[in-house]
Structure 1
Amino acid sequence: MEAAALGLAGNAVGILLPKLQETFSSILKVRDNARFIKDELESMNAFLVMNAAMGQYTDDDLELNVWMSQVRGIAYDIEDWAEEFTWRLCQPHWHGIGSCFPDVVRFTKDLVARVKIANNVHGLKGRVLEVGERSKRYGLRGRTTQEPTSSSIIAPVARMQHDPRLGAHLTDDAMLVGMDGPRNTLMDWLIPGDGSILRIISVVGMGGLGKTTLVKKLYENRQVMEHFHRSAWITVSQTFSLKVLLRDMINQLLGSQVFSAEMTEGQLVQQLRDELMKLNTSYVIVLDDVWSLNAWLSFFPALPDNSLGSRIIVTTRNLDVASFCSQESGHVYHLKPLCPENSWLLFCKKAFPRHYSNCPPTFTHLSKEILGKCDGLPLAIVTIGGVLASKPLLESECQKLHDHLGTSIMSHQGLDAMTRILSFSYYDLPYYLKPLFLYLAIFPEDYQIRRKRLLRRWIAEGLVHATRDMSTEEVAEWYFKELMDRSMILSSIINGDTTVHSCHIHDIMLEFTLNMSEKDNLVSIITRKQQPPAPAPAPQTQDVREARHLALHQHSLPANIHKNKKLEHVRSLTVFSEGIVSLKNTSRMKLLRVLDLEGCHLSEVDGDLEVIGQFTLLRYLNLRNTSIRSLPKALAKLQNLETLDLRWTKVTEIPPHITKLHKLEYLSVGGFERDPSGASLTCHGAELPAEGMTALKALKTLSMVSFKTNPRELGEMTQLTKLGAKDITTPENAMAFVETLDKLSDQLRALKVSWNCDVPFLEEVSQPPVHLKSLWLSGIMITCKLPTWIASLDRVSKMALAHTELDEEGMQVLQRLPCLKELVLFENSYLNHELRFLAGYFPVLKLLQIDSLSHLTEFIFHGGGLQLEIIEILATAGTTYMFHGSHKPYPWPKETCTVITVVARLSTSPNPLQLRRYTQQLGGPAYVPMTGFPKFDKSVCIRLRHRTMGCSNFLLESNGDLSVGCDLPPECCDFPSSIELMVYDAM
């Protein structure tokens, strides 16, 4: 993190150098001092990056930690100075009476500012020199000047990595809860059934899921041992000696007599390969805990295909590694957390062994709350359960563990091994990913973080920078994917095109990020815990540390917070509150770059929002789903603003001063939502200024804008890649839209259109936007057919329709689109009662979402939709859906299955996309247990009926527990028979 702080400060000073040269052209000393600071920061940054790469930065190195803390402090101060200088440049030079003598006032203010900045630069240079000299006095920099040896590189990390994994704690069969399904699947993959080819099986998942434990049980299975007469288990880990592990592998497989101590790595690889080719039997090798592709590539040349059905099993936390290892066979198993039932069973076995693995009734409530922190992670469940078992069985002890679990995770001796296991993933991150991961500490526990929201915030904070070949947005997407692939963040909702819509961080990892961010003085959290019953006093607000990011969880800004000088360092303010939030107490946050108030009830009394005018460095402003009705005039002062999110607000008009925001890249207003009085899907947006929009040269995303005023100017904004348009109601504004679309056709990648016009204007488009990847159409198609140019959209991967009233012929246009992966059908979008999947149709469709199409009740599969994974139905009360498969030949490969997602809409949100989902498999090679449902807002009854097997009923209570349930028998997996799904409200 220190390297990241230095990088940010150095970058800030680097950006300021041209301004310094212009402003202080006559004061060479100031400019030279600033250049010296920048160069010294770059040297410090290189030193810290090198230490991180060599594994020399550990928590045990107290001297280095102290020095790095000092370096971090000075880096933050330099960044503060650089940002304050920029802030001063953004301020008006005179106002009020000063306007009578503008030159005098300007000269005086500039002189004062120059003297202050010159003094600051001189002082900062002195501090940088002092910190640099201190590192030399104590030999800190000298640690990397010597030639690194294998022992100097490996020893510090090895000390941290002293195999603290708790695999031994999970080896008892009684503790292997919820492993039957994964074990059976892997066993099917492991025992040869496809001839004699070599198969590489990868098991991937975050640390603590039990990958090693699961594979160890397979490895020791008698059937496996009898089938593979030669076997080897190799633990790779983050740092390893290839020569040592090759010798170990040869010894396990062949015996020590086949190699000599003097053999080089290359000779060992060749020897192992030659001997394995001579074997007259198959082998199984486990490479446990593989962290990188380089590690895999080091071993792979030594592991040949001896044409006897051999197997290699790889366990890893990195999806890229797993996919690469198994790229030929495609056998990648994603190990998932335990379901709530199995989590509870495992916890009770570990926490209450003296009570025959039964939780005493008085401990049930606290135990379930503690278990909720584990979020299905076996390592956490076993470890925390073990800590509870080691304590006296007293309610006070359980309460203490519950109240201080976050602190205990980072400090309790019994939890130390678990903390180290989870910390491996963090320390393995490249330096540029560490601040991005710690940034997640801002968000509350169990919070669903939208991917795009997170990426835009990273960019606004200066944590992501463009490269020669990639834009800032592309780099941010790449970094996000890296964190996902490393299992540092987990997907919550995945779109049909396989992109992640929202993500979350595991509760245990969140505690780790909070601890690390507090250590680095990065994030300060103000929370308001559950208030005790009256007349007990309300809890006091926590103190705010000198952190860069301030987050308020279920809290409003305290009335006296403006007196806290530590707020002068705050770069981002994020409020998660259901109460009324006022911004009047934010006067000290002049260096704010990110203001995120999504979902808050904002006070608009006495022009409260006008205070945002003081945040002249603001780059990101999120007012999504707030109660605001208009934008303040002070918005025009935000000359550095890049993102303005106004979706699902009551703003209906964008004021003219928006055209002064020349750096604005993202502007989104309104959106599609349901009418509170019924199920109708409506579109909301805002009117643009009559002229001046072409001044927004940086704007890339604009949605949803009204075409009532015929804004033909939009056609000149050739940098737009995403456009949303509404209020196309007359032939005049319909033609204005067509002209705009023709002009923007080459660069548009996403398009949303909502109309209420009896003219088939979409047919008039002469330049189809053939590069579109996402298309949303909401309006009546007069001919019940799609425009002919829709068929040419061979890059569209996501499409949503509402009110289009398509017939089967119109639907067939969509079915032929070669890249369509996600299709959403809202009300009146399709008129037929059945949807047919014919051979060759929907070739890559993965997600089909049906929302309020009460007349669509049958899905008939005749060989189409081969890639379909999820059919998501938002059902109305009493609606029945029939799924028909063709008879022979079988419509899908036998190993695949159809998945139905039962969806319950959040009753408090009118947004149709904010849904609570649960995925349940209805087909496949084995039975399907109906367990592990999430909590819904109210009880839901689900009925699954199979024509030949009768009916199974399940009553899902609002707490997520099943009151009645059974497993679907294997016969139900013959999908050519029909399955009926009925969802209705329970009485």
Structure 2
Amino acid sequence: MAEATIVAALRVLGELTNEVAKLAISKFSRLCSTYKNLEANINNIGSELRVMQGFLDGIEMDDQSNKPQVAWIKEVHELANHIEDIVSEFAYLINNQMFDGISVYVTKLFKDPKLLVDLKRIASQLLEAETRLVNLARMKERWVPTTNVSTGENSNYSNEYSYKMAISAHFIDKDQIVGIKNNSGKLTSWLNSKNLELSVISVWGMGGAGKTTLVTNVFKREKNNFDCHAWINVSQSYTVDNVLHNIIYEICKEGQKNSINTGNKDLRELKEIVVKLLKEKKYLIVLDDMWDIKAFQDIRDTFVNDHRGSRIMITSRIANVASLAPERNRLELKRLPELDSWDLFCKKAFPIERNHECPPTLKKWAKEIVSKCDGLPLALVSLGGVLSCSEKTESEWRRVHDQLTWELDNNPNLDPLKNILNLSFKRLPKYLKNCFLHCSLFPEDFLLPRKKLLRLWIAEGFIQQKGRSTLEEVAEGYLMELIHCSMLQIAKKNEFGRVKRCQMHDTVRELALSLCRKENFGLLHEDNNSENIDCSSRRLSLIKLRETFMHDVCLPKLRTFMLVDDDVLSSPLLSMVFDKSRYLTVLDLEELPIETVPNAIGDLFNLRYLGLRNTKVKSLPKSMKKLYNLQTLDLNCSQIQNLPDGIAELKKLRHLFAEVVVDPTYRSFRTCTGISLPKGIFYLKDLQTIQALESNAMVVRELGNLTQLRSFRIRNVKENHSVELCKSLSKMSFLSYLSIYASDEKEILQMEGLNLPQLQKLDLCGKLKETMLESPLFKISGNSIQTLLLGWSQLQNDPLPSLSHCRNLTYLYLKRVYEGQQLIFKAGWFPKLKRLDLVLMPNLIQVEMEQGTMASLEGIWLWELKQLMEVPKGIEHLISLKWMGCRDMPVDFGGLAEGTHQLFHFTCRVF
């Protein structure tokens, strides 16, 4: 993990390489002859760090037996953190003084002695850091053995436990295997399929999910149905030669083993032998624990297809590797159900008890421990094994539960679990490791919101620019990589099918928290004992704290502070943050009951993310203009209505959230309001998000300057704004989400001139002319729109025939859209629609679904349709329907809706 710390230090060093900063450093060096070599010193620091990073990439970081190496890595880690702090402040002081040009900057140096003193101090610290780096390099040569480099004899250390677990799986008693019956049946049917083509079958899931155990069970039972068979463990450090040698050894009959000499064969000859052995045979080969598609591609040409029903089975933790098999032959192992988890745990924890019954006195803590395992078979087996040898007392079992992170670190009986999970972490590219660890700084079972998570990663500096992609697009790619590597799990998808919330498995989270503490990456604090907090902590996430907690803590190196608890006294908290943690990058005070933000916030020169969502803050101080690095400002549901003019100086601002919900029932027309912005903000070229903005003549005129906007909400739009608003919006070639609310329900939104072919999500709330649905916005942009929310349109004609041209819709929300009495969804309409909401249509008396309409629909929401006395006609034709929700409907409607479940399988929810 120290290599990830170096990445952070190198990133901030990069901030000193832009032309303006280099010019300022040059001028500064001339003013202070003592530091005339400052630019060279900075370059030397970068060079030393890059070499150290290369060295750390090539060693086994978890080999605790090499004590000098462990101590040296800790020194590197601390120095890299120190360099990051120094350079962050140096970059800020240089860049923040450069707005008026280099000549004015030099004048400021002479007129501001404090600034000059600060620059001299930081320059001295950089020189000292370079000296320390040189000394560390010499220390490594003197004291740190290099036999553990990846090219050495211990390079397979990472795979040792994975290999041992694979062997052990072959000797598990079938009576000890739980919850595999259905999956075993699937694999058996795929193996014995009548299809005689050579086919690939894949089983994938997170480490410890039971992939090897499942496949072993099937392999042992079915292998004799094949002419020959082989079980090959493909480790991360595989070689093609070694894999081929093992295949030859496994498929040779006993009499052949000595007759085939593979010792001096080259790669071509080895492949020829494999082809010869497999030719005209029905064979079964298992490639266990494969990490890379290339491993399969390297040997694929040896797998003969003689149309005899041969099969290749692959197990992997990686989704991309699993995709080597056709989708019909892929099996993802999910968590064990609750009953199976309990059964497996009890078999291991109470091996000699009658029927493996758990004593009543232990049941509470046994249930808690099983819950921690979260359906992961290896965790259940490992913890069950540990507890089978412990005292059968409530206090002992409670201790194991409360100290699970410590047990993972220190109990050798849990090494199989720790090392299997560790292997997944070490396999991650270094650019993903910080992102993964960051996810553990949220409470257990917390659903991580995708968009916020990505913005936090960007603020932390974890995301590197790639080509023309935005940082947000790169960050989303990182998130999907973690999901495909089984390090995170999808908890919820949006209507587009994109990840909306994800989750970290409880046992994986315990591992991550252990690594966070060990590497001083961050701390999730869940108790009232401030003594557990290291003063050198870089990241702190608080869940619970007592009144005096913050008085006891000094965190001068803190980079990230996140609050996940709204029951906190604000005064000592803010005092700690602003007075003692000047290097803060992320400050998330969501739901903290504070009313003011201290003027001292301007001293947080490194701040990139400020979260004040759901607070009682009414205004921001003028010092906000000093937050030169701020990227995200989240004021949603605060009480702020105006922003200070200085916000327009925040040149790096990317996301601004400032919408207030004024009607939480969402019954009225004006449910939300936006914020008034200073004129200069329309020249912030990096802005991608504004949610939401109050409209006026100046706003709609200047809005076209924000050509990078991806997501935009505007409120209080008047009819006479429409033409200028369409003109400005049409300049936004990246806009994917647009929300427009009229000033009141009588105001007409004339958006006929708007054409945004890339738009994916559209909200229009206001009166519409009948011709609006025939405009380019729906005829052309309709091909890309996936989510459509129309409110208070008050149309006299049925809107469905026009909206049916939006064939890619996945979510359709219609509120007070139609004044008529009947809506008919005809065959073939809305083929991809997954959710339909019909709300507040006072005259609607009938809804009809023809056979073949909305073939993908999963849910219907009906709300305040006072004249709708019967369940939608033809609802039985919706073959994909899973639920129907009802609220504020006629008295008898709930009973009718509840009765529809007898017609087909779906759940009706009445509110």
C-alpha contact 1:786 1:806 (8 A) present in aligned 2: no
Separation in 2 of the partners of 1:118 and 1:980? 68
Amino acid at match of 1:742: S
Q: CA deviation at 1:296?
A: 1.8
Q: Structure 1: where are the runs of 5+ without partners?
A: 94-101, 530-538, 892-896, 906-939, 952-976
Select which of 539, 555, 564 maps to 2:545. Answer: 555
Separation in 2 of the partners of 1:879 and 1:42? 74
- Secondary structure, counterpart of 2:237 in structure 1: coil
Separation in 2 of the partners of 1:942 and 1:508? 45
Check if 1:742 corresponds to 2:730.
Answer: yes
2:216 is matched with which residue? 216
Deviation readout 1:767-802 (Å, 9 max, x if unpaired)? 401111222333444539734321212233343444
C-alpha contact 1:37 1:128 (8 A) present in aligned 2: no
Do the aligned partners of residues 396 and 488 (structure 1) sit closer, same or farther apart at CA in structure 2, a change above 3 Å counting? same
C-alpha contact 1:808 1:832 (8 A) present in aligned 2: no
Select which of 266, 269, 277 maps to 1:267. Answer: 269
Check if 1:696 corresponds to 2:679.
Answer: no
Percent identity, please: 26
Do the aligned partners of residues 757 and 322 (structure 1) sit closer, same or farther apart at CA in structure 2, a change above 3 Å counting? same
2:536 is matched with which residue? 546
C-alpha contact 2:368 2:401 (8 A) present in aligned 1: yes
1:297 is matched with which residue? 297
Amino acid at match of 1:610: N
2:618 is matched with which residue? 629
Amino acid at match of 1:117: I
Matches within 5 A, 1:493-892: 493-528=492-527, 542-555=532-545, 558=548, 560-561=550-551, 564-565=553-554, 567-580=555-568, 581-582=570-571, 583-586=574-577, 587-598=579-590, 600-604=591-595, 607-670=596-659, 675-677=663-665, 683-689=671-677, 691-708=679-696, 711-728=699-716, 730-744=718-732, 746-755=733-742, 756-758=744-746, 760-765=748-753, 767-783=754-770, 786-789=773-776, 790-793=778-781, 794-804=783-793, 810-820=799-809, 822-825=810-813, 827-828=815-816, 836=825, 838-839=827-828, 841-845=829-833, 847-848=834-835, 850=837, 860=849, 862-863=851-852, 868=856, 870-871=858-859, 884=875
Deviation readout 1:865-902 (Å, 9 max, x if unpaired)? 56x3843758899996787566xxxx9xxxxx836268
Deviation readout 1:554-601 (Å, 9 max, x if unpaired)? 33785654x754x22111111111224342332121111111122x23
Check if 1:60 corresponds to 2:65.
Answer: yes
Do the aligned partners of residues 762 and 14 (structure 1) sit closer, same or farther apart at CA in structure 2, a change above 3 Å counting? same
Separation in 2 of the partners of 1:469 and 1:608? 37
Range 49-58 or range 516-525, more displaced:
49-58
- Secondary structure, counterpart of 2:308 in structure 1: coil
C-alpha contact 1:849 1:872 (8 A) present in aligned 2: yes
Deviation readout 1:903-929 (Å, 9 max, x if unpaired)? 899xxxxxxxxxxxxxxxxxxxxxxxx
- Secondary structure, counterpart of 2:446 in structure 1: coil
Separation in 1 of the partners of 2:411 and 2:788? 51
Q: CA deviation at 1:244?
A: 3.0
- Secondary structure, counterpart of 1:584 in structure 2: helix
Separation in 1 of the partners of 2:723 and 2:712? 16
Q: CA deviation at 1:853?
A: 7.6
Do the aligned partners of residues 383 and 882 (structure 1) sit closer, same or farther apart at CA in structure 2, a change above 3 Å counting? farther
Do the aligned partners of residues 495 and 608 (structure 1) sit closer, same or farther apart at CA in structure 2, a change above 3 Å counting? closer
Q: CA deviation at 1:473?
A: 2.4
Select which of 124, 129, 143 maps to 1:124. Answer: 129
C-alpha contact 2:387 2:397 (8 A) present in aligned 1: yes
Do the aligned partners of residues 119 and 525 (structure 1) sit closer, same or farther apart at CA in structure 2, a change above 3 Å counting? same
1:378 is matched with which residue? 377
Separation in 1 of the partners of 2:857 and 2:313? 26
TM-score (norm 1): 0.80
Separation in 2 of the partners of 1:92 and 1:286? 63
Do the aligned partners of residues 706 and 104 (structure 1) sit closer, same or farther apart at CA in structure 2, a change above 3 Å counting? closer
Q: CA deviation at 1:553?
A: 1.4
Separation in 2 of the partners of 1:723 and 1:27? 47
Q: Structure 2: where are the runs of 5+ without partners?
A: 99-106, 888-893
Amino acid at match of 1:66: A
Deviation readout 1:389-416 (Å, 9 max, x if unpaired)? 2223211221221221221122212211
Do the aligned partners of residues 719 and 819 (structure 1) sit closer, same or farther apart at CA in structure 2, a change above 3 Å counting? same
C-alpha contact 2:849 2:872 (8 A) present in aligned 1: no
Range 382-391 or range 125-134, more displaced:
382-391
TM-score (norm 2): 0.87
Separation in 2 of the partners of 1:216 and 1:856? 60
Q: CA deviation at 1:519?
A: 1.3
Separation in 2 of the partners of 1:615 and 1:879? 60
Q: What is the Cα-based RMSD across aligned positions, in Å?
A: 3.7
1:937 is matched with which residue? none
Deviation readout 1:193-239 (Å, 9 max, x if unpaired)? 4x322322222211111111122222233xx4464343322221222
Amino acid at match of 1:442: L
Do the aligned partners of residues 513 and 858 (structure 1) sit closer, same or farther apart at CA in structure 2, a change above 3 Å counting? farther
Q: CA deviation at 1:716?
A: 2.9
C-alpha contact 1:652 1:687 (8 A) present in aligned 2: yes
Deviation readout 1:264-283 (Å, 9 max, x if unpaired)? 2332223323443422xx33
Do the aligned partners of residues 865 and 44 (structure 1) sit closer, same or farther apart at CA in structure 2, a change above 3 Å counting? same
Separation in 2 of the partners of 1:505 and 1:443? 9
Do the aligned partners of residues 457 and 881 (structure 1) sit closer, same or farther apart at CA in structure 2, a change above 3 Å counting? same
Do the aligned partners of residues 134 and 859 (structure 1) sit closer, same or farther apart at CA in structure 2, a change above 3 Å counting? farther
Do the aligned partners of residues 175 and 678 (structure 1) sit closer, same or farther apart at CA in structure 2, a change above 3 Å counting? farther
2:348 is matched with which residue? 350
Separation in 1 of the partners of 2:467 and 2:341? 48
Aligned length: 874
Q: CA deviation at 1:611?
A: 3.5
Separation in 2 of the partners of 1:424 and 1:694? 48
Separation in 1 of the partners of 2:235 and 2:428? 14
Matches within 5 A, 1:12-31: 12-16=12-16, 18=22, 19-27=24-32, 30=35
Separation in 2 of the partners of 1:66 and 1:642? 37
1:285 is matched with which residue? 285
Do the aligned partners of residues 777 and 277 (structure 1) sit closer, same or farther apart at CA in structure 2, a change above 3 Å counting? farther
Q: CA deviation at 1:823?
A: 0.9
Do the aligned partners of residues 487 and 104 (structure 1) sit closer, same or farther apart at CA in structure 2, a change above 3 Å counting? closer
Amino acid at match of 1:69: K
Do the aligned partners of residues 796 and 827 (structure 1) sit closer, same or farther apart at CA in structure 2, a change above 3 Å counting? closer
Matches within 5 A, 1:64-75: 64-75=69-80
Separation in 2 of the partners of 1:411 and 1:874? 55
Do the aligned partners of residues 137 and 249 (structure 1) sit closer, same or farther apart at CA in structure 2, a change above 3 Å counting? same
Matches within 5 A, 1:159-558: 159=160, 161=162, 163-164=164-165, 168=169, 171-193=172-194, 195-221=195-221, 224-225=222-223, 227-255=225-253, 256=256, 259-261=260-262, 262-279=264-281, 282-323=282-323, 325-326=324-325, 328=326, 330-353=328-351, 354-528=353-527, 542-555=532-545, 558=548
Do the aligned partners of residues 34 and 77 (structure 1) sit closer, same or farther apart at CA in structure 2, a change above 3 Å counting? farther
Separation in 1 of the partners of 2:895 and 2:36? 72
